[in-house]
Each structure stands twice: as structure tokens, then as C-alpha cells.
Structure 1
């Protein structure tokens, strides 16, 4: 579904509209899909079965009345009629049950496909939203919104079509029957009671809806805290924060429990109020019938007829409160999901954008200015060019804008001004999928899916076969690890790849990029989180990965990019220096200062290591003596 284009000025009114008829209006196309006539036929069949079942149920009280009146007459003439009407009554009840179940069978596919279509739309939309959205939203809350919204669809369809609509039909039919058989008084009494019942139910349910919204917010917060804590399990352990996390979760869960208590207690109030109204109608209607019987205008069967009709009517009316609450809650849940669909896509393809065809893999930043927030500029009129087949390193102090370059290159954001060109094409004017297909990345933190090694390596290209995966693993120096593992390529890597070491995860990321085989490669501080020995091993593998590709290497440790063809030195989002390693050292500028500081730190680390090794040797000698 396309997002709503207009945003009302009053947010509260907007919320009420979206959770009411506006939500229902947007939901109806999923119920009546234009491109699936088979589902529409099923809906028509289901509605025909509903009408047939309702007609049978409206005829049953007359069979019951006829049976009672026949029994009140002579036995010899009434026995046959009474038995025939009893048989018809039993057959009618069975037929009504059969129609209800056939209706459910016919409609089940409609409900499931409507849920599937809406869930697919939401999931597709989430993958098209900007990185800014996903960094700001809580994953637990988003998944909960999708779960609640999709689960509400099937119930919404069922209640709207098979409870609300048949109840309205039955109310009209009972009014006509009462008018023909008992006069306008009973019709008016029934109408006033039903209106009062609906009004009270709606008033109390609206109050409960506020409690439901509060419960949803608190439930999402509790889930977010639980998911966030478990995802950061190691960090919690590092800082002995188990009790702190338990307290945070307990606080959120307790707030949810208190809101749930209020909500459930309000159910009792609603049920008692409904019972008072319906039983008052039943007592008044039966008293009216008894009064008519006392005057000889009505029969005993008429009392049974009125009683049976009202009890049949009370059954859906008794459920009306629960149905109304369920529909209102479903509208709230679906409204939240529609808000996800309505979230503006920050980075969009222009209409009719062509695919990017990279003939010469060059990268150019042309006078690019960008900031994540207004008033805070990260890149300031930055310009540089990466020639085809070369390796360009980007270095600078923390906060200089190095990683932002990678995000702009992948077009997770658009520059405030300026252009980014790949292969001579402005990336804002080509399709995003084709742009990202041309660029491979080995990030600092290689996040893996909780799947097998083979799945994570093959993720680089859809449809990659076993031979390609194995060759990529071999080129990434992963085969020694895989051959040691009992399950080989089928080994599960755990949540976010936590079962692997940092170096192993980086090798998987390299293998995944080899499978993708892109002409342009981005190394975003790919070794900064590794120890020196592992770093040197990974650097050798990266060198093989860079061969024949245009490479941009964002680095913190200058020793890893000293052999780059060109080095760009950023400072406060601007290009401070550029040149080869030797040329930059000769300038004696910012790069030389950073190199000198890092060399000094490496010297201290080496000195400390030497002293430690000497101390260990002395202790070993003393122990030997």
C-alpha cells in the first residue's frame, strides 16, 4: 500500500482517524484482492453460507413455537406435528453448524493470504527505509508491532464478516418479525435496548483502548530491554551488570503487569453492565408476552418464540463487547503497522532510474557536504577521486568523517550538497540495488547471520553454488578452520557470529565479498578490532582480495595502508592532505604527526612486551633451579 501523502496538523486526531475508519479503509484491499479472483469467489461463497445459516437460525424459533403450541392442543392431532417440528428443529441446528464450518473452510485461505500480503508489504517497506530509521528504532518494538499487526488481521476479517454483519442482519430481521407478530412496542423496546447496549459498550471499550495502547507501549519497552540485554550478553557479564539488567527489565515488566491488571479489571465492569441491559430487555419482553397471553392475544408458543429470538440475539450481543474490543485493539495494532508503512523513505530512486553499469570502476566525491543532523556538518565540501584499479586509503582523527564516506558511497544517505560518482555516473540518478551490487565491503565489525558458514559465505551472491563458496573460502584462508570443524561448512556460527573469533569472522566477510566479486571494494577499518598477529594474516588475505579492483581502505592504524597508491588525510570533514606515504611523511603535516604518535605507541608496546618476556624467562630460570 502506498503511504498517506497528507499529514494532519492535529496528531491526536490523526491517531484516532488512523485507528478507525481510515485504517479499515486501507485494510479492505487486502480483503478483496484485485489480482486474485479465486479469493474473491471464496469470500462470496463464505457470505452466501453466512446468509444461509442466518436464515435457518431465524426459522428455528418458529419450529420451537409450533412444537409448543402443538403440544398444548389435543395429543392425537398434535403428536405428529410436534414430532415433525422437532425433527425440523434438530435438522436446522445441524445445518446451521455445517454452514458455519463450511464458511470457515471457504474463508480460511482468504484470511491467511491477507495476513501474508500485509506482512510482506511491511517487511518490504522496512528494508527500504533509511539507515537513520533503523538506527533510531528499537528492533524489539518493530518486531512486536509486526507480530501484533499481522496476528490481528485474521481476527479482524472473521469478526467483521461473520459476526458484525450477520448480527446487523439478524437485528433487522428480528425487528420485522417482532413488528408483524407483536406490534411496534416490542420493536421499540428492543431497539432502545440495543442502542443503549452498543453505546455503553463503545464508551467503556474506548476507555479500555487507552489502556491497551499503554499496554502495547510498555510491552514493547519490556521486550526491547530483554532483547537488547541478551544481544549484549558479553557486555553485561564484563561489567557484572546482571542485577542491573534484571532490575531494568523487572521495572518495565512490572509496569506492563500493572497496566494489564487495569485492563482486565475493566472487562468485569463491562460484562456486568452488559448483563444488566440484556436481562432487563429479556424480562420486559417476556413480561409483555405474558401480559398478552393473559388477555388471550398470545399463546404459550409466542412466549417461547420471544424468548428464543432474544436468546439467539443475546449470543452475538454478548460477544459484541468482546468483538468490539478485539476489533478496536486490532485497529490499534494495525494502525501501528500502517505507520511503519507510512514512514517516509529518505533515500529514494528517481522515477525511471536506470541501472548502474560500471565500465570503468572509478569513485569521485565532488564537493560533498553532509551532516547527520542540521547544524552539525560531518563532511565539508569534500572532493577527491579514486582512479580505476588503484588503492586509496582514507585516514584521519576520530570524528573526521571516514566512515561517513562509506555510508554515502553505498547511498545509505544522500549528500546535503555535491555529488558522488561511481564509474562516472551520479549515484543519486541510478538504481540503488545496481549501485550496491557494484561495491563490496569488509567492515570493522562483520555481523553474520545465525546460520551455517556456507550460508554466510554464499550470502555474497544469490544462487552461489558449492564450488564458488569453497573457492572463496580457500582464497580467504578459511579452509584450515573449516577442515577442523566436525560439521565443516555446515557449522552454525551463532547469533551475530559470536561462535567465531574476530579474525574468523573477518575471513568469512572476505569470502562473502569474494563470492560477490564486485569491481569496487570498501575496507572500513577491516582489521582495527584484531590483534597484531591476526591483523597481519588478514592483511595478506585482503591484499589478494584487492587485486584487480578499485579499493577504498578506511583505516585507523596507518601501518596497514602505508603501501596505498594514494592516502587522503581528513580533518573535520575536509581534505587536509593527500599523497603517498613517503610524500606525506616528507611534508611533516598531520599525517606525519599521526604516524609519529602511532610509531611511539608501537615502540612502547614492544618495550613492554620485551620486558614481560624477560621477566617470564627469569621466573622460569628460578623455577628450574
Structure 2
């Protein structure tokens, strides 16, 4: 885990080294100051030597100024290094997420990934800054102050050893108790973020069903769970400060008592006792810093584990060693395909699928909810890999292709249409970033989107809100189809992508496909028979198995499922006409 994290320090290694180096200078200066203070008392004040007082006083001022300068520079470079480290961690996670297959994405919740990219990274950032400053300052100050204290009076210095043993035991018990609690806290953070995300995304549905009170209660419960775990952790962590204060005041009392006796017996001077008290404070403050550092590391350890989990997650789908980059045509073949979402599962979503599609054909897919229509087409661009068997495009197993080349030739409009914040042009150019305005317009005309776009005051420069909330469902679907067409793919897959458009527009889109892109293989998933009845072949899926294949006329004769769907939809249409 530590190696994975440190690999992301990268260009901030110099800053990460400068911060502790300057901290060494700051500590060295601070250790010298108590010695000078003792000299002022013993050599200056007690001997009434004003020149000595002034000389040592000026020396203390210079050393204090150097200490301040070193401290400021250490803080500057520590801030730069920790912020840069956090930036690299976020980038490493985000870059790896982009390579995730659908099965990898299924493993992590969206809210969980957001928590890891924000809260968890911030925790690790704070700990890293503390490590390169406090982890250097506290041990150095502890060792330096202890060494100086032993040089003044070994007898008095043994008081510290007892305090160190006591505090080490307390810290160990605190860490052992708190770490599992923080691990649970961040899981509850995921639930909290999930509640917020779901509510914001579905706010229109919440208001439509007047479920605000229910959502508030759900959020309150998620927030309360985080609160309860934090309180549970804090109840243990608060033992840290009383323990520190107990050790500090015990040391001060013992040293005051023993030191007074030693001054009376001339074993110790007044100045040495004064400097000894300063070293007491330095030692105990160092111990306090170390205890705080351990608490912070304990908290961030859980975050670090979650971050590393994302960075080290390997995509289930990757390029072969010598990938094929050229896809000659849009022919597709499913050869005895079985598929399950989990590798180890034998409960296949698709079973014994054998299917051949010629390049340029229009294929319709019909089936009830849960019949694995989407699963079938998602195997073509390798959004998932088959469990057994093979899927071939242009006669070659899709696992032998370069992923980018394959997906460039397979344009897919998913069930859930997604538009991004930006202009219509910017959204369309997701299909082809170099597309000209003429190509944009042509694609939109094919998708029957040009007409409504031109009705907007800003036309193709109309700004689309996040998620496409300022356009209708049908408009969103047509824009997504146009975006897919801009890829000029050899295979076009529409996964129930015209469900929100009227039947006339649906018919015009299919006619445009037939006339304008005859060489592109078109696969249309639809619940409406009218959307697929003129396809070259129609596939009827039932619980992950191909029930029937044929033309509209053939299926009306040979497929009970297809005939039942057709008749039920025609009855509905007849009723609408009679009304």
C-alpha cells in the first residue's frame, strides 16, 4: 500500500525533501535557545554582566529569527508537496476509473468513488503534510531535547523515560481501538453521499410524489450513522489529551521537587533548571505531536486503503499483446455464447447464443424485461466479455481487437441517454471531435434532431444543462443518436433509444438509416413492434435464450411470443384510433 501511494509523489519529491530539511534547521535552532537562556541567567543576570546579557539576547533573537524562517519555508514546501500529492492521487484514481470495464464499475458505487476522490484523498493529504513536517519535527525535538536534558542532569532526565513508556502504551491502545471504527465511518460516508446523489438526480420524481419528508428522513439516518461512529471514535481519542496532561504535570512536579533539592545541594544551577523546564515542555509537546500524528495516521489509514483499492484495481477487459486495429466490415457472429455478470457464476444471463448478422443488415431485438437484450449487444463492443464462447466482428474475435479501434467502429446509444453540460455542438462532437458544422447538421437531420435544434434561439450553440435537464426525453434521445452517427461506425446499436419519440419520428429515423447508411449494420432494441417490423431479421429473446429468429411475417406465424406482443400492441392502437 505504502509503495503505491509514494509512487504518486512524482514531481513533488524535491518539495517533500525540502520540507523536512528546513524542519531540521528549525528544530536545531529551538534546541539551542534554552541553553542561551540558561547562560543569560547564570553568566549574565547572577554576575550582573549587562554586556553578556545583551550579547546572548541578540544571539537568541538571531537564532529565533532563523528558526522562524526555517519553519515558514518548511510549511511552504510541505503545503506544496501535500497538495501536489493529493492532485496526483486523484488523477491516478480518475485515470484508472476511465479504464474500468462495466464489471469493474459495478464493483464500486458512484458515491463510493466520489468519497474516495474527495474525503479520502483530503485525509491522506493532511496526513502526508503532517508526516513530512511533524514526523520529522517531533522525533528530532524529542531526541535533541532528551540529549540536552541528559547533558544537564542524567538523574532528572529519567523522569521522562517513565512518561514515554506510559504514553506509548496509551497510544497503542487508542490506535488499536479506533482504526476499525474509522474503517466503518468511511463506508457510512459512501451511504451518505449515495443518499445525496440519488436525491439530487431524482429531485423531480421526489417532488412529483411528495416524498421530501421520506428523503429527509433517509438522509438524516445516513448522517446520524456517520455522527454516531465519529462520536464513538472521539470518545476513545479524547483519552489522548488527559493522558498527555497527566504525564506533563507529573513530570513538572517531580522535576520541580527534585530540581529544588539539587540546587540547594549545588548539583544544579538556577539557569540549568530553567532550561530543563523548557526541555520538559519541548519533550512533552513532541510526545503530544506524535500522539496526534498517530491519531491522524490511524484515521487516514482507512482512507489510504480505499484509495489504493481503486488505483490497483485492474480492468477485467484489456488489449491483447498484438491487437488488430482494422475492422473491415460490420458483420457479427455469436458462437455458442454464455454470459454471466460475475465470472465465477454459472447462472448465465445469456445461454447458448448462436447468431450470424451480415454487414449492413438491420436487426431488431424484442423481448420482455430481463430477457438480456442489453446484455447481448454490450458484448459486441466488449463492454463486457463473454463467459464462454466468442463474439466475432468481421470474422475476428472481439478480444483480438484493439479496444479503441473496436469501440470507434461500434456506436452504441444506451438505454439511459446521457448529455453533458455544454453546448449542443460540444455534446455532438463527443462522437467526432473533428466534425465540421456540416457533418453535425447532417447527423442531426438523420436523427430527426435538426428541426427542433433550429427552433432554439441559439441553435446548435444552445447550452445543455447537466444531464440534459433542459431538453425533453425525445430530444435527448435524438441528440444521442446524432452523436453516435458522427462516429461513422460500421455497427450502430440503438438500445431502446427511440422509446420517447413518437411513431412518426421513429419511422423517419429508420427510413433515414435505411437510405443514408445502408452499409452500416444496425441493431435496434425496442419494445415496440412498429420500430423493428421492417428489419431484415428480428430476434426474439426470452430469459437469455434466443426463442426465435425471422422476419416480421415469419415470426407472426412461428413465434407465439412475438405474435402475442404484436396483437396486444395492435389492439391498443385500434382502441386509440376508435377513440
**Is TM-score (shorter-chain normalized) higher than 0.5?**
yes
**Are 2:335 and 1:366 aligned?**
yes
- Structure 2 residue aligned with 1:312: 282
Correspondent of 2:454 among 475, 483, 501 = 483
Structure 2, unaligned runs of 5 or more? none
- For residues 221-258 of structure 1, the C-alpha deviation after alignment (integer angstroms, 9 at most, x for no partner) is 12211211221223223333222222211222223233
Q: Secondary structure at the match of 2:145?
A: helix
Partner of 1:530: 501
Determine if contact 2:178/2:298 at 8 Å carries over to the other structure.
no
Which residue is 1:202 aligned to? 172
1:42 aligns with 2:42: no
2:251 equivalent in structure 1: 281
Which whole-Å CA distance do the structure 1 matches of 2:3 and 2:176 have between them?
A: 20
Kindly state the Cα deviation for residue 544 of structure 1 after the two structures are TM-superposed.
5.6
- Indicate how the Cα distance of structure 1 residues 573 and 263 shifts in structure 2: closer, same or farther if over 3 A, else same: closer
Match of 1:617 in 2: none
Q: Decide whether the 8 Å contact of 2:142 with 2:282 is kept in 1.
A: no
Map of 2:326 onto structure 1: 357
**1:454 corresponds to which residue?**
425
2:30 counterpart of 1:57: yes
Provide the secondary structure at the position in 2 that maps to 1:112: helix
Name the stretch that deviates more: 382-391 or 454-463.
454-463
Instruction: Give the C-alpha shift of residue 143 in structure 1.
Output: 0.5
- Return the offset for 1:99: 0.8
Matching residue within 67, 89, 103 for 2:40: 67
Q: Provide the residue aligned with 1:177 in structure 2.
A: 148
Task: State the shift of 1:86 in Å.
Answer: 1.1
Structure-1 residue corresponding to 2:390: 419
State the Cα distance separating 1:522 from its structure 2 match.
0.7
Query: What is the deviation of 1:474?
Result: 4.5
In structure 1, the residue matched to 2:294 is 324
The Cα offsets for residues 554-579 of structure 1, whole Å up to 9 and x where unpaired, read as 22212112221222233333333323
Work out whether 1:259 is the aligned partner of 2:229. yes
1:73-109 CA deviation, whole Å, 9 max, x = no partner?
Answer: 332xx11111111111122111111111122333444
**CA spacing shift, 1:203–1:129, aligned 2, 3 Å:** same
8 Å CA contact 1:368–1:419 kept in 2: the answer is yes
Assess if the C-alpha contact under 8 Å between 1:364 and 1:384 holds in 2.
Answer: yes
Which region of structure 1 is more displaced relative to structure 2, 440-449 or 582-591? 582-591
- Structure 1 residue 72, shift from structure 2 partner: 3.3
CA distance in 2, matches of 1:46, 1:396: 64
**Alignment of 1:595 onto 2:566:** yes
Classify the secondary structure of the residue corresponding to 2:548: strand
CA distance in 2, matches of 1:206, 1:236: 43
Pairwise mapping of residues 25-174 of structure 1 onto structure 2 (< 5 A)? 25-31=3-9, 33=10, 36=11, 39-75=12-48, 78-135=49-106, 137-174=108-145
Q: Deviations over 1:289-333 (max 9, x none)?
A: 222111112111101110111222333323333222112111111
Give the whole-Å Cα distance in 1 for the aligned partners of 2:498 and 2:330.
Answer: 24
Q: Secondary structure at the match of 1:516?
A: coil
Q: Does 1:604 align with 2:575?
A: yes
Measured in 2, the distance between the counterparts of 1:497 and 1:541 equals 25
Q: Distance in 2 between matches of 1:523 and 1:94?
A: 71
TM-score, normalization: structure 1? 0.86
For residue 330 of structure 2, give the secondary structure of its aligned residue in structure 1: coil
Partner of 2:549: 578
**Alpha-carbon distance between aligned partners in 2 of 1:572 and 1:216, rounded to the nearest angstrom:** 38
1 CA distance for matches of 2:19 and 2:271? 34
In 1: Cα distance, 2:97 partner to 2:475 partner:
30
User: Is it true that 1:338 corresponds to 2:316 in the alignment?
Assistant: no
1:432 aligns with 2:410: no
- Candidates 205, 209, 228, aligned match of 1:235: 205
Distance 1:219 1:444, change over 3 A: closer
Quote the offset at 1:538 in angstroms: 4.3
Farther off after superposition, 488-497 or 302-311: 488-497
Task: Specify which of 398, 401, 410 is matched with residue 369 of structure 2.
Answer: 398
Q: Residue 383 of structure 1 aligns to a residue in which SS?
A: strand
| 1:356/1:425 contact within 8 Å kept | no
TM-score by length of 2: 0.92
State the 4+ residue runs in structure 1 displaced beyond 6 angstroms.
none
Shift of 1:591: 3.2
Please provide the CA RMSD for this pair: 2.5
**What secondary structure does 1:398 align onto?**
coil
Listed one character per residue, the Cα deviations across residues 463-507 of structure 1 (whole Å, up to 9, x for unaligned) are 545554444334434333333333433433333212211111011
**Taking structure 1 as reference, are residues 309 and 45 closer, same or farther at Cα in structure 2, changes over 3 Å only?**
same
Unpaired runs of 5+ in structure 1? 1-22, 611-625
Whole-angstrom CA distance in 2 between matches of 1:258 and 1:375: 41
| C-alpha distance in 1 between matches for 2:511 and 2:285 | 76
